[in-house]
Structure 1
Amino acid sequence: MLIYKQLFAISLLLSLPFCIAAKEINEKDQLICAISETALCRENAGCTEGSVELVNLPLLLRLNLEKKTIKSTRISGETRTSTILAVNTSKNNLILQGVQEGSGWSMTIDKKSGQMSVSSSLDGEGYIAFGVCTRS
């Protein structure tokens, strides 16, 4: 089952440039985002880079920007929902921010390419992830 989820994510990532080219992402869209690279850094312990499983992050994120929610799915099948507290737009990016289980997070999505970066931090540790988003 794990290999099928990974193959789905890879195929999604490969097809995204063709899906996004038509129209810029905006603050009312519903998106699906796949995380491809991650790192976990701990105070006094350095950083660990690797797969989403290695740092216990979700593989897929489903964003409903109009309702300001993010649903995440981990490789294990565990799902979580987070509220987007702020949506800001710049010329080229959407910037989302929120809080979940004591950690603050921020996500930046390029409106044209769908490229995404996410960071999350709490006491003594921080996560960063990179991936790509497209309309769902």
Structure 2
Amino acid sequence: MRSSIARQAAATAASGFKPSPMALLPPIPLYRRLFRAHRKHLPREMRVLGDEYIKAEFRAHRKVDNPAHLIGFLTEWQLYAQKVEGDAWKGEKIEDGKLQKLSDEQVHQLYELMQAIQKRGSDDDGSSS
């Protein structure tokens, strides 16, 4: 006999397990959500740069076999989508703990991204004068 959802939830709560605060989206729905978030919440210039970055990252992680890496990848992108949708990303800095965990290659990618953003910003300032 099947138990109801309420009984399952009660059993889960009684056993001490807490439901996760957010359900992790599968890769394809998350990918689409990211593009929608960019389309709705970012200026055109930032959207173009962000969309290309999303495409490159998802392509690079397409064949990841390690479940821990996959979960970490999807979790961080889902948190990013939530921040963009809520405009919480503006002026935010990377946490020191996360920065320390980055590999040299990731730090280099982040530096290149920063340079691309600064270059676009200086190009926009120069063209509007």
Q: Same fold (TM over 0.5)?
A: no
**Larger helix percent:** 2
Give the TM-score of the pair, scaled to structure 1.
Answer: 0.29
**Larger strand percent:** 1
